[in-house]
Amino acid sequence: MRKLNILIFFFFLSISSKTQTLGGNTIFNFLNQSNTAQLSALGGINISNIGNDVGMSFQNPALLRPQMNQQVNTSFNNFFAGIKNYSLNSAFYLEKVNTNFAIGVNYFDYGIITQTDAAGNILGVFRPNDYVAQLSTSKQYKAHWWYGATFKFMSSNYAQYKSNGIAFDIGIVYYDSTNFLQASVVVKNLGTQLRTYDGSSTKQELPFDLELGITKRLQHAPIQFSLTAHHLQAFNIYYNDSTFNIAEGMDNSGISGLQKVVNHLIFSTQFFVSDKIEVTAGYNFLRRTDLNAYSVANGLNGFTMGVGVLLRKLHIRYATGFYQQNMFHQFSLNFNWKGGDLP
């Protein structure tokens, strides 16, 4: 009980944390990107999905389970403008201490970019990249509770500008297997910048996030629904650049209170066609609001979808979503590193 009380203390402490900056004013924002196809298909944020995909535990360590022992999740995302995203995550279970562990990395390659000075003279080329490497652990508490934590090391490299930092995630999950119900709360990115881009002592803030999620699978139908709420430490999370608005003669100050509420929400569903096929769809309200800004709209902004083929020794998943006139394509593979069957 003492351990659970300590975790709850950290959740309440995080609500008053200073690391709550939003709207482009934080660093290492690649931490918000999906590391695996199933998560992308679910709308980009989901901390309560019922399943055995070890890739989902990258975002919530309390989702780690003993049945994920020796499972590997690897993912590739062909993003926009030549950006490539690679992810690898694996878990193991130590029976002697009854504890789950996972290690993982999420890497972003932005391609080769020409480097110039202020006058436009070409100085050469450079290859910017970001990555996060992390170690996670989880443990069960009584019949229905799981708790976990993740330690992260983040690094950004943009030519001569380099930065790194450390952070922690803390998660608690309630799982009722009888009623097919799972609820989670996660505090993300409690940490600090270690090395600043310009070498100064002024540190920038991390993309702190307080999230709640609930998933319910129907008992008599092959479908489950998830509702996730993110950035609950702030009411208005809409990015409104007043300087840009004034320069362009735009006014976006009239966003309604209802819109401010729903911008926190992501709704998703999974339909299990058979024990081998799953179909996933999600809707991210904030992503739609951001992409529809300045009257540049696409009716499919905010929607994501995916499909999974679940074979005995290999799970193959694909996800895509809409960003104006563009779509991303993400593929993930799950397998057991010793060639065993997947749960």
C-alpha 218/C-alpha 222 separation (Å) is 7
Per residue in 173-196, pLDDT (tens digit) is 999 999 999 999 999 999 999 999
Please report, rounded to a whole number, the percentage of residues in the chain having pLDDT higher than 70: 87
pLDDT value at residue 320 = 95
The pairing of strands 161-176 and 122-126 is unpaired
DSSP string, 69-127: TTEEEEEEEE-STT-EEEEEEEEEEETTTTEEEEEEEEEEE---EEEE-TT--EEEEE-
pLDDT value at residue 253 = 59
pLDDT value at residue 244 = 61
Query: Which of 141, 146, 119, 109 has its CA nearest to residue 33?
Result: 109
pLDDT value at residue 240 = 67
Would you give the DSSP letter of residue 252?
A: -
pLDDT value at residue 241 = 64
Give domain 2-336's CATH architecture: Beta Barrel (2.40)
Query: Which of 35, 29, 69 has its CA nearest to residue 55?
Result: 35
Judged against a pLDDT cut of 80, whether residue 254 lies above it is answered with no
Per residue in 15-50, pLDDT (tens digit) is 444 434 445 678 999 999 999 999 999 999 999 999
Judged against a pLDDT cut of 80, whether residue 166 lies above it is answered with yes
pLDDT value at residue 9 = 45
pTM: 0.89
107 vs 80, residue with greater confidence: 107
pLDDT value at residue 291 = 82
pLDDT value at residue 249 = 58
Q: How confident is the model at residue 298 (pLDDT cuts 50, 70, 90)?
A: confident
**Phi/psi of residue 275, each to 5°?**
-75, -5
Q: How confident is the model at residue 6 (pLDDT cuts 50, 70, 90)?
A: very low
- Lowest mean per-residue pLDDT among 7-11, 167-171, 175-179: 7-11
26 vs 316, residue with greater confidence: 316
Q: 233: Cβ–Cβ under 8 A, 6 or more apart, which residues? A: 14, 15, 17, 20, 208, 209, 210
Judged against a pLDDT cut of 60, whether residue 1 lies above it is answered with no
C-alpha 221/C-alpha 270 separation (Å) is 11
Where do the domains of the chain lie?
2-336
Query: Which of 7, 32, 26, 51 has its CA nearest to residue 215?
Result: 51
pLDDT value at residue 242 = 65
Mark residue 270 as left, alpha or beta (left: phi above 0; alpha: psi -120 to 50; beta: remaining).
beta
Q: 339: Cβ–Cβ under 8 A, 6 or more apart, which residues? A: 313
Q: How confident is the model at residue 326 (pLDDT cuts 50, 70, 90)?
A: confident
Over the chain, what is the mean pLDDT? 89
Distances (CA, A) of 42 to 25, 48, 51, 226: 26, 11, 13, 8
CA 291 distance to own-chain centroid? 19
Q: How confident is the model at residue 79 (pLDDT cuts 50, 70, 90)?
A: confident
Q: How confident is the model at residue 247 (pLDDT cuts 50, 70, 90)?
A: low
Would you give the DSSP letter of residue 208?
A: -
Q: 174: Cβ–Cβ under 8 A, 6 or more apart, which residues? A: 144, 145, 182, 183, 184
234 vs 240, residue with greater confidence: 234
C-alpha 117/C-alpha 17 separation (Å) is 39
pLDDT value at residue 324 = 78
pLDDT value at residue 11 = 45
Exposure string of 106-130, with b = 16+ CB inside 10 Å and e = fewer, is bbbbbeeeeeeeeeeeeeeebebbb
